Amino acid sequence: MSAESHPAESPDEELLGAEWPQVTTELTDPQRIDRISRELERAFGALADVRRGVTVFGSARLGPGTPEYETARELARKLATDARASVITGGGPGIMEAANRGAHEGTARSIGLLIDLPFETGANEYVELAVPFHYFFTRKVSFVRYSDAFVAMPGGFGTLDELFEVLCLVQTKKIRRYPVVLVGTAFWGGLVDWIHARLLADGLVSPGDEDLLTVTDDLDEVVRICCEACDLRSGESQ
């Protein structure tokens, strides 16, 4: 091993850095594919009976006592009681904990799709069903497959990554149109203005793409949108 090389520090680096001379790996491509397949198979089995799923994205850094935490907690409680939703999060602290907590208080299923990160230590205490993942992309597949609607609370790069992943899938018609709701007009307003002023005005997205997002501070509106989506998928609206 050269002085500049190092063993892969995570399954993601082992996979994505396999062609880099600085990363020493021991797996073959068939072994990597088998690991990915087993991770998806385990997740699909664990989540097979999830119905009326609503995923709540948001920052791990906004803890108890912050307005965002309390809003996420209240929203999830409303989703549980009024929309009869199973609440799905990343299972970590902050906004994720708040949403799992609200679901728990509303006696709904409280689900966490956990990612293996060095700075997060397992599921928050309010997760009823914890599903572990090594890979971000297998986790995203599971978020999308088992959700009827998506809610984004304030968050950083991870939240933005998850948000735009869903928007891209809907825009390109890889999935049917899911509601995507951004909670917090003060937080999200600048992003939405930029989408209109630059992406839409410069022709970088199509007219109507901006309507894939709903931005609101009204939690009852969020619940109504999510409930309608859950009803539609389950056939209860017919």
The predicted structure's pLDDT at residue 2? 47
Check if the beta carbon of residue 184 is closer than 8 Å to that of residue 69. no
If phi over 0 gives left and psi between -120 and 50 gives alpha, with beta otherwise, what is residue 206?
beta
pLDDT given at position 106: 95
User: How many residues are listed for the chain in this entry?
Assistant: 238
| pLDDT value of position 20 | 76
CB count in 10 Å sphere of residue 140:
18
pLDDT value of residue 125? 96
Write the CA distances from 58 to 45, 71, 97, 208, 230, integer angstroms.
26, 11, 10, 25, 21
Q: Which residues contact 125 (CB under 8 A, 6 or more apart)?
A: 97
Per-residue pLDDT at 22: 76
Within 8 A by CB and 6+ apart from 126, the residues are 97, 100, 101, 103, 104, 110
pLDDT of residue 46: 98
pLDDT of residue 7: 79
Predicted confidence at residue 238, as pLDDT, reads 43
pLDDT the model gives residue 120: 65
Tell me the CATH number of domain 50-234, given options 2.60.120.260, 3.40.50.2300, 3.40.50.300, 3.40.50.450: 3.40.50.450
What token pair was written down for 176? 């049917």
Per-10-residue mean pLDDT for the chain, 238 residues long? 66 75 81 94 97 97 97 98 96 97 95 85 92 95 97 97 96 91 98 96 96 97 97 72
Q: Where are the domains of the chain?
A: 10-40, 50-234
Q: What is the pLDDT of residue 68?
A: 98
